[in-house]
Amino acid sequence: MPQFHGGPDQRRGYHHGNLKEAIIEAARRFIAERGLGGFTLVDAARWVGVTPAALYRHFRGRNALLGEVAARGFLLFADRLRRAMQGGGTPIERFTRMGEAYLAFAEEEPGYYTAMFSPRGSEADDYTPLALLTGPKPAEAQAQAFDLLIEALTQAFPQGRDQIDMRLVALEIWALSHGIATLDAAGQLPKGARVPSKYQLLHSGVIAIVHGLQASGRHPTS
């Protein structure tokens, strides 16, 4: 009597056919449910319907797998930001939309998000020499996402390009978004009817930062 564990694609032959993708999907789910520390290779293999040893055909080990999850997360993340930025509206509206996409991604993809923003081990060991055949590295994927944010800002506020430092504005909004997202994920944002939602919080914050930095950019003090 064969056992089923709720994973996808259980009815298969000796070869899985798409094991690498399935493992990453399993990691994404389990990290979302149980956190990084609660994620195990054994669970992932069981969910996929495969022996734990099979994972080593596709990853050098647990660290390398987590790195790949993070890298994919950043790529998907960048894609979401890019889409949010496109479309009409005032510069502030477009930028607010990007911030909302940030929060939505963190909420909807806690597996990716946790992997992306957790300190990883020594990637050099994990990625050579299998990396040559493998996907993107997380640091590069992250840089890509951040560059996109800068680019969006510069396009959205062309008139301020020499007036204020776009990298600064981008960093502020990135940090505020990350702070709100992680506090929310940890259940440490106050809840209640009289208290703003995380989306309202980010909206107000983005507007304040853009206004505030523009103001201090025009009247540089300290």
**Contacting positions for a second copy (CB under 8 A):** 35-37, 117-119, 142, 146, 167-168, 171-172, 174-180, 182-183, 185-190, 195-196, 201, 204-205, 207-213, 215-216
Q: Does 63 bind DNA (CB under 7 A)?
A: yes
Specify the length of the chain in residues: 222
Q: Looking at beta carbons only, is 17 or 88 nearer to DNA?
A: 17
CA pseudo-torsion sign 201, 207, 208, 213: positive
CA nearest neighbour of 29 among 21, 37, 39, 16:
39
The candidate with the shortest Cα–Cα distance to 149, out of 174, 125, 124, 132, is 174
**Contact stretch for DNA (CB under 7 A) within 49-57, 134-142, 184-192, 196-204:** 49-57
Taking the least distance from each CB to a second copy, the nearer of 48 and 153 is: 153
The reply on whether position 57 binds DNA by CB under 7 A is yes
Q: How many CA atoms lie within 13 A of 173 on its CB side?
A: 33
* 14: contact with DNA by CB under 7 A: yes
User: How far apart are CB 53 and DNA at their closest, in Å?
Assistant: 3
Q: For residue 4, state whether it binds DNA (rule: CB under 7 A).
A: no
CA distances from 122 to 8, 20, 57, 136, 159 (A): 32, 22, 20, 16, 42
Q: Which residues make up the interface to DNA (CB under 7 A)?
A: 13-17, 19, 39-43, 49-58, 61-63
